[in-house]
Homo-oligomer: A and B are copies of this chain.
Amino acid sequence: MPANAISPTRAEDYPEWYQQVVRAADLAEASAVRGCMVIKPHGYAIWERMQSILDREFKATGHVNAYFPLFIPLSYLEQEAKHVEGFAKECAVVTHHRLEAGPDGRLVPTGRLEEPLVVRPTSETIIGATYAKWIQSWRDLPVLVNQWANVVRWEMRPRVFLRTAEFLWQEGHTAHATAAEAIEETLRMLEVYATFAERDLAMPVIKGPKPAAERFPGAVDTFSIEAMMQDGKALQAGTSHFLGQNFARAQNIRFATATGGEEFCWTTSWGVSTRLIGAVIMTHSDDDGLVLPPRIAPHHAVVLPIARSDEERAVVLAACRDLESRLAGSSFAGEPVRVKVDPRDIRGGDKVWQHVKQGVPVRIEIGPRDLAAGTASVSRRDRGPKEREAIPLAALPERLPAVLEDIQRTLFARAAALRESRSVRLETAREVAEHFAEPTAGFAFVRVADDPAIAALLDPLKVTVRCIPLEGPDDPGPCVVTGVGVPRRSLLARAY
């Protein structure tokens, strides 16, 4: 094991490896507030990249951003019965609006609220109440709004990025005149998420509806994109919900139709969160640390001057700065290439390893010998840390975008190949039980009915139906548990 690698390795202890990758890459840390994380600058820069791409896609599909209150009156949450049932156990509740010194001088909450306020775990109810005011007529539809926000779901077993009490996300909330339009919107946003995951995160996903038991509380239909992590587990990376008229009825979101009638709206909601950062980490990183797909890397490349004396340093640093400004003129994925020079005066090996662990896609080292040869020594994060290629300095501005494109493609292909190698089709309940006896069993495509009876098979295995994949031809046959005919196979896996 190289001295600077992550310890433990993925094979030794995957969950602990994950924590160590996060730490070594300086992405985030636990805070003193139970379950809440501090997203450190490098982690937040990845989120900013994700936000920037997604926000552009949302706007390109006709959405606008808005902002709704953090607090939800308890009575709002109660309006949709399944919804409140789904979230009641994990709500942070504000009960007072003031602090005053108590008898012992310590502060105590005072100013009790008449009605407690819930810190939003999601915003269907507060936004729905607003839409009920905004929407009067069919002319007001569709309403296509997205919100970037923090949400809180009290979490007893927090895990950085994957499961935290507070997280950052976006939540789209739309209202439509017909069921067909709302379903079209639900699937359009599922597709936006799938494209983002595959094109930008280099993370292959399987998209499809969830079985009834796994739906968003209050939804008619929940669709998700599911990715495979390197330990074979599934991670739900985004969801898009067709809410039917459930919330519209509960919250009285009605509109006058073009023909003079009155109807309830059809609504949708859809979201992705900072959990995606965890998904990216577990999809691409290796035993040397974080690996980032170039499209969401805060910096595409770092330029590292190598010098042994002050004179050397001056010459080499000047060459690095020159290269930096020439590279900034190149573009990748429609944006200027993001390059930085790291001139810090620390041991060269330590510096290289920091950038390896932080997942910078390309490292460009320049020393006196490189300069003499008119080249730079280029290392790709998707290859071994010692591998390098001499590329003429003059050619780099043209070559770098192609290198980044190739890294992006390689990461996707690698993840797709892993998923392919860890996926099976199973035909009987016994095969399912045997397959999932293995703790890192991967994906199984199995015919199961959307029926509570299948829990008897899956629950003991700690396996769930992730979704019923939309792609590919029908593949009808009997449910492995109930024997009832089903048109397609479902994706079964253990999940984060």
Contacts and interface: CB of A to CB of B under 8 A. Distances in A.
B93 A95 contact: yes
A107 B95 contact: no
Interface in A73-98: 73-74, 76-78, 84, 88-98
A164 to B, nearest CB: 9
A72 B40 contact: no
A88 B99 contact: yes
A117 interface: yes
B88 A107 contact: yes
Contact of A109 (B29, B47, B95, B145): B95
29 contacts: A29-B133, A32-B73, A32-B126, A33-B69, A33-B117, A33-B126, A38-B69, A39-B67, A44-B64, A44-B66, A45-B64, A70-B166, A74-B107, A77-B107, A88-B98, A88-B100, A88-B107, A91-B97, A91-B98, A92-B96, A94-B94, A94-B119, A95-B96, A96-B116, A98-B154, A111-B154, A119-B119, A149-B150, A150-B150
Contact of A107 (B40, B43, B78, B166): B78
A118 interface: yes
Nearest to A41: B64
A66 B40 contact: yes
Contact of A106 (B65, B78, B98, B154): B78
Interface residues of A, number: 62
Contact of A76 (B32, B41, B118): B32
B95 A91 contact: no
A303 B194 CA distance: 35
A32 B99 CA distance: 24
Contacts of A73: 32-33
A94 B93 contact: yes
A38 B68 contact: yes
A129 interface: yes
A36 interface: yes
A37 interface: yes
Given A74-B99, A88-B107, A99-B74, A31 B68 contact: yes
B65 A44 contact: yes
A160 to B, nearest CB: 12
A130 interface: yes
A72 to B, nearest CB: 7
Contact of A38 (B91, B130, B149): B130
A166 B71 contact: yes
A168 interface: yes
Q: Which of A69, A70, A78, A88 has the most CB of B within 10 A?
A: A69
A336 to B, nearest CB: 14
Interface string A110-132: 01000011110000001001100
